[in-house]
Structure 1
Amino acid sequence: MKIVLNGEQREVRAEILSDLLVECGYSGRVATAVNEDFVPSGLRLAHRLADGDRIEVVAPMQGG
């Protein structure tokens, strides 16, 4: 399936958001949005992806 992940087009096998995070190597605490809609961590296991979805993954940063 073709998606856009953090602004870059990618070809992925995952069809569920939680699987996509694993496939792309994300671990720890991250925030996720699909097509500009926030997806809480508790709903990622049930959130199905579709071809062309735009996914944003953001990790918290320390400092300032």
Structure 2
Amino acid sequence: MKRYTAIRVSRETRDLLLKLKGKKSWDSFLREIALAEIQKRRKIVREKLEELLELDYGEVVVKNWAKEF
């Protein structure tokens, strides 16, 4: 059984979201936005990691927390 909740936003924000939402349900629309943001952040992290991997070994300093990944 799904549980639902309310999110309080300003009327201006709600109106803007309504225009973007179209005929989708609020749940699917907000999930789509959240998943797109996660993908965007992962892409940025991948690009930063690729930059690090392109550096000479002597230029890369790995912090202790990064060794776990």
Q: Which band: TM-score by shorter chain?
A: under 0.3
Higher normalized strand content (fraction of residues): 1
Specify the structure having the higher radius of gyration (Cα).
2
| Structure with more contact order per residue of length (Cα contacts < 8 Å, sep ≥ 6) | 1
TM-score, normalised with respect to structure 1: 0.24
